[in-house]
Amino acid sequence: MTNQPRQTEQHLAAIAGIDTWDDARILEALAAGQDRALAAVRAVTPQIAAAASFLARALKSGGRVIYSGAGTSIRIAVQDGSELPATFGLSEDRIVYLIAGGRPAMFETLATAEDDVEAGNRDALVCGPADVLIAVAASGQTPYTLATMRTARKRGAKVIAVVNNAASPMEAEADVAIVLNSGPEVIVGSTRLGAGTAQKAALNLLSTLTNIKLGAVHDGYMVNMQAENLKLKTRAAGIIMAITGADQAQARAALEASKGAVKPAVLLCAGATSLAAAQELLGSTESNLRQALARLSGS
């Protein structure tokens, strides 16, 4: 399996002479590579949906999402994970990163770290049976990342692979594999280009669909967000007004009463008699705002 030719290392014949082209032609070639990357993501939406169902069940049961990778791939994964608390209200302690080379590798090129199998095995000891590991690597065979997958599985965790080469060891090791056929790079092997774009888009779709399934989105609004600064308080008030028809004063008063939590504030503006009553409604519907609103209205 490791002897399979890697598409990300192949050369595009049409790119010969790119260093002699004018700027517009170079940029068009680069943009075409990005188009191929997004087409690759659309082609695997069934696999992304399967992975999202998998991850949603784990998070609903108290598990954690654990991202693993090296180089560009883990930087993209960290970008995805680091946005989940602010966007969807996922607690920081439910998100873990296994980074080849540790946190310094987010800012420094520690190229040899990706070959450290021992570190991968050691780092993955944090995984447990309730967790899901999302392993990301363009090649599909990065030693560190593959080691984290194998150790995670031994410890009972489920594993999702996001890779850009088919028939790879990581694909074989995963419970759910998202194989992104993003094709050869305009610059051979520079997976920060098309492969990176495909990974970013796939992770974005995966985490967003997961959190929609968990009730963090209502009619396209981020109802699990916590309004902690002026910008977010303004956004939260707008969300409450849009969902309930309340005016700005009512929305801001409800937010104040709920200490910045959007869902109970929505219920207060929709007729809940107290914060305790709003929280009870959310508790009885597993924090599903649509169901809570329906119960409140008696429908």
286 included as an active-site residue: no
Catalytic option among 28, 83, 108, 118: 83
In tens digits, what is the pLDDT along the chain, a chain of 299 residues? 445 567 777 788 788 999 999 999 999 999 999 999 999 999 999 999 999 999 999 999 999 999 999 999 999 999 999 999 999 999 999 999 999 999 999 999 898 999 999 999 999 999 999 999 999 999 999 999 999 999 999 999 999 999 999 999 999 999 999 999 998 887 887 788 889 999 999 999 999 999 999 999 999 999 999 898 999 999 999 999 999 999 999 999 999 999 999 999 999 999 999 999 999 999 999 999 999 999 999 85
The answer to whether residues 226 and 218 touch, using CB atoms and an 8 Å cutoff, is: no
Residue 105: how many other CB atoms lie within 10 Å? 18
Give dist(CA 21, CA 172) in Å, integer. Answer: 41
DSSP 6: P
114 included as an active-site residue: yes
From residue 267, how far is each of 70, 88, 293 by CA, in Å? 44, 18, 7
Write out the H or E segment, with its range, that includes residue 218. strand 217-218
User: In this predicted structure, what is the pLDDT of residue 183?
Assistant: 86
- Indicate the Cα dihedral angle 10, 14, 16, 20, nearest 10°: -140
User: In this predicted structure, what is the pLDDT of residue 299?
Assistant: 57
Q: Which domains does the chain have, with CATH numbers?
A: 7-212 (3.40.50.10490), 217-297 (1.10.8.1080)
From residue 273, how far is each of 66, 173, 267 by CA, in Å? 40, 52, 9
Catalytic option among 28, 108, 114, 185: 114
Q: Which of 69, 60, 61, 34 is nearest to 161 (CA)?
A: 69
Q: Which of 35, 15, 12, 29 is nearest to 182 (CA)?
A: 35
- Residue carrying the six token digits 């520690």: 110
CA angle (294 as vertex; 290, 297 as ends), nearest 5: 140
User: In this predicted structure, what is the pLDDT of residue 2?
Assistant: 45
